[in-house]
């Protein structure tokens, strides 16, 4: 039977395709929009059965062109949190997603999709409840609104629906994301080209580089997706982070010291890296005032209750592993 991955040439979608391949899955339909063609690089080492443009996909799904479909991993979306074209974001992240969901329900196909921690905005509860949700930008609102639709559908759903609220994901196959690439990716490239790393300065009561996020490796994101794929009886909306908040300084120090290790040099403390100019701070951008999450940390209670017991990679382990991959 066929498995469908939308956003298959994107960051998380391509990692899901690769992980499915490693399980022996080959009957995979990759759905994406390759107007920005460089994303094709993410699929070069993957095996797929067919590629479908996103604009043709829904009608073909409704016509049952793909035969018996086991599940849809809906990873396709506009992931640019700085995008200001509200019509574009709402179409891609809400209208299109809802259409795919409705077609899945009509056909009785399992539906696993990418939600976002941006839904929580400036609130700090990070619990999958309406009272904890207050998005700060149109990206967060588009994800929030889709989750509300899913909440209304879930009690009567006869096939699996799983929404995963991704926190700050980093890892292989993100290069095409440009300004939305992770802090780890940007720090790696800055250090290799400029021998220094730039982070945001103090903002909203947080010292320079001390803004704190729940950074999660794409390796763990894929594992949780496949956990729910393996458990079709489990549905719901779940946080997907590590449950541990770490600073941007943690990321930069890990990147720099991993590269220093590869260059046969000793590790340095944050204070030493600041003193010698390796880590620098820039003025917090005015355009992000009031639209920026200074702290995120996934509450994993619901995910653990669903049965996912595996540990998550810390920044020190996950980012170091990613840096070695980038260096190769």
pLDDT tens readout for residues 262-320: 999 999 999 999 999 999 999 999 989 988 999 999 999 999 999 999 999 999 999 99
List, by residue number, the catalytic residues.
139, 177
**In angstroms, rounded to a whole number, what is the distance separating the alpha carbons of residues 213 and 295?**
5
Taking CA atoms, 104 is separated from 17, 73, 107, 161, 316, in Å, by 19, 11, 5, 9, 39
Output the pLDDT for position 179. Answer: 85
Sign for the pseudo-dihedral over CA of 289, 290, 291, 292? positive
H/E run at residue 189: helix 183-194
* Per-residue pLDDT at 82 exceeds 90: no
- The chain-wide mean pLDDT, for the chain, equals 96
**What does the DSSP assignment read for 199-244?**
EE--BTTBPTT--EE-EEEHHHHHHHHHHHHT-TT--EEEEES-S-
pLDDT at position 83: 87
Q: What does the pLDDT read at residue 84? A: 86
Residue 178 has pLDDT above 90, yes or no: no
| Predicted pLDDT of residue 204 | 93
Q: What percent of the chain has pLDDT over 90?
A: 93
Label residues 84-98 b or e (16+ Cβ within 10 Å = b): eeeeebbebbbebbe
Question: Angle at Cα 216 formed by Cα 273 and Cα 170, nearest 5°?
Answer: 70
pLDDT 10s digits, 127-163: 999 999 999 999 999 999 999 999 999 999 999 999 9
- pLDDT tens, 52-81? 999 999 999 999 999 999 999 999 998 888
253: three-class secondary structure by DSSP: helix
pLDDT value, residue 132: 96
Phi, psi dihedrals of residue 74, rounded to the nearest 5°: -95, 95
Question: SS3 for 50?
Answer: strand
In the numeric block, which tokens belong to residue 143?
């994800």
> Does the pLDDT value for residue 201 go beyond 90?
yes
Instruction: Tell if the pTM clears 0.85, that is, is over it.
Output: yes
Angstrom distance (rounded) from CA 294 to CA 280: 18
């Amino acid at each position: 039977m066929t498995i469908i991955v939308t956003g298959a040439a994107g960051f998380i979608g391509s990692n899901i395709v690769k992980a499915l391949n490693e399980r022996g899955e080959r009957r995979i339909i990759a759905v994406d929009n390759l107007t920005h063609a460089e994303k094709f690089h993410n699929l070069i080492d993957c095996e797929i059965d067919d590629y479908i443009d996103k604009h043709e996909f829904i009608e073909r799904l409704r016509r049952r062109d793909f035969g018996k479909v086991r599940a849809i991993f809906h990873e396709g979306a506009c992931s640019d949190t700085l995008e200001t074209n509200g019509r574009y974001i709402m179409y891609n992240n809400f209208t299109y997603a809802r259409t795919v969901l409705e077609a899945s329900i009509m056909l009785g196909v399992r539906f696993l999709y990418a939600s976002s921690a941006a839904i929580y905005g400036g609130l700090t509860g990070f619990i999958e409840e309406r009272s904890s949700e207050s998005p700060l930008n149109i990206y967060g609102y588009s994800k929030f609104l889709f989750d509300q639709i899913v909440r209304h559908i879930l009690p009567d759903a006869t096939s699996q629906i799983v929404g995963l609220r991704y926190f700050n994901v980093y890892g292989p196959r993100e290069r095409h994301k440009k300004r939305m690439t992770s802090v780890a990716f940007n720090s790696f490239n800055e250090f290799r080209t400029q021998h220094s790393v730039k982070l945001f300065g103090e903002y909203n009561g947080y010292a320079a580089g001390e803004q704190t996020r729940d950074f999660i490796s794409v390796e763990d994101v894929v594992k949780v997706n496949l956990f729910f794929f393996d458990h079709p009886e489990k549905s719901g909306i779940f946080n997907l982070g590590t449950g541990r908040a770490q600073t941007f300084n943690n990321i930069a120090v890990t990147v720099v010291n991993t590269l220093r290790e590869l260059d046969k040099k000793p590790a340095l403390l944050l204070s030493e890296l600041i003193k010698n100019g390796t880590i620098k701070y820039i003025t917090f951008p005015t355009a992000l005032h009031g639209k920026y999450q200074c702290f995120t940390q996934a509450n994993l209670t619901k995910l653990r209750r669903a049965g996912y017991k595996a540990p998550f990679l810390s920044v020190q382990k996950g980012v170091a592993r990613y840096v070695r991959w980038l260096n190769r």
